[in-house]
Amino acid sequence: MDMRSCRQAIVAGLKWLLTQQEADGSFRPAELGLNTVHKIPYALAVTGQLERGARLCAWLNEQGLDEEGDFGGRTHREGPLAVFYHLANSWLVIGAHRMGQFGLSMKAGDFLSTLQHPQTGGFLTRGPEASMDGMQDLMSTAMAGLAMLNIGNVGAAEAAGNFLVDAYDRQPKLSSQLLFVQQKGDRMVNEFPDDQQPAFSLNPQRPGQWYFVPGLAGGFLAKLSEVTGSAEHLRAAQNYIQYAESGGSDRYETPNGWWFGWGAAMVYAVTGVASYRKIIEAVASDMVESQMSNGSWAAGSLSYEPPAPIVDATAEAIVVLTEILQHAGVGE
């Protein structure tokens, strides 16, 4: 992995991203609400842009955060963020907390914690309107668990981690697919429309799979294992990354693989196992090569289309590349 090229890509992406900020702290295109803005605080935090981040958090407090700690108003949800209701909340909690914007992060984190199922530890996919029998999915739970870990709610993070461990161990047929969703307590959802398959499972025999789902699960579990010391958490982290590695060649070559590379970096930092280094290098190299000449990226994982928010994708790429570099050196 050419670390110099990765650093140059991060700097170029950040320069472009900062040109999109308005005087009031918001980012263009503001009309797309959370689809534009939810990843930006995290990106500004990992690159040390604290003044810019503070202005954005002030805007979020004024325009989006409600009394309960949820986001609405000008920070509405569209597309996938309306389905995976609290995914954006988790991103914002992490970003705000890393910038020291605790008034925002803790209030939003308290709301997020109310969406955790009290028995399973998973997070309800559809948010506050969901029933206790509603869907819980690996991606939303992993991101929410990471948010809980960032704000120091270790109990909630550990419960989310245990949910992910249990979900992997209860997979009925790993030879053909990794199921992402459960409902009605602990029933894994294995029937769904074929055109929605990537949102419900990872089929290693098909292209275009959501490799970012096991990537997020594995990466979160690796970070959690550093806190809990749990061999089960680390075992499950490796299982998720290894399952994604069993997929097609496109696992490295599209934005769907970015968090797969991130997750491999988190596991590599804990284990030092050389095979994860191959994944990291392949994903990072593709990310650098896919950057546009102006420093932005055209689309990220789970992109909202149309249009794919280039701001959203660029913020995501900055986070992934920065944290890959941070953790890739630890495992050596």
For residue 225, what is the DSSP state? H
Q: What is the pLDDT of residue 185?
A: 75
User: What total number of domains does the chain contain?
Assistant: 1
From start to end of the chain, where are the E strands? 136-137, 178-179, 181-183, 187-188, 201-202
Return d(Cα 43, Cα 324) in angstroms, integer: 13
Among the listed residues 320, 223, 201, the one whose alpha carbon sits nearest the alpha carbon of residue 262? 320
The predicted model gives 178-206 an average pLDDT of: 95
Q: What is the pLDDT of residue 307?
A: 67
Q: What is the residue range of 74's domain? A: 3-328
- How do residues 140-187 score in pLDDT, each as one tens digit? 999 999 999 999 999 999 999 999 999 999 999 999 999 999 998 789
Q: What is the pLDDT of residue 126?
A: 97
Which residue carries 């053909």 as its tokens?
Answer: 176
The predicted model gives 229-239 an average pLDDT of: 98
CATH code: domain of residue 238 = 1.50.10.20
Q: What is the pLDDT of residue 331?
A: 55
Q: What is the dihedral of CA 281, 287, 293, 297, to 10 degrees?
A: -160
How distant, in Å, are the alpha carbons of 58, 109, 111, 112, 256 from that of 53?
Answer: 9, 18, 21, 21, 27
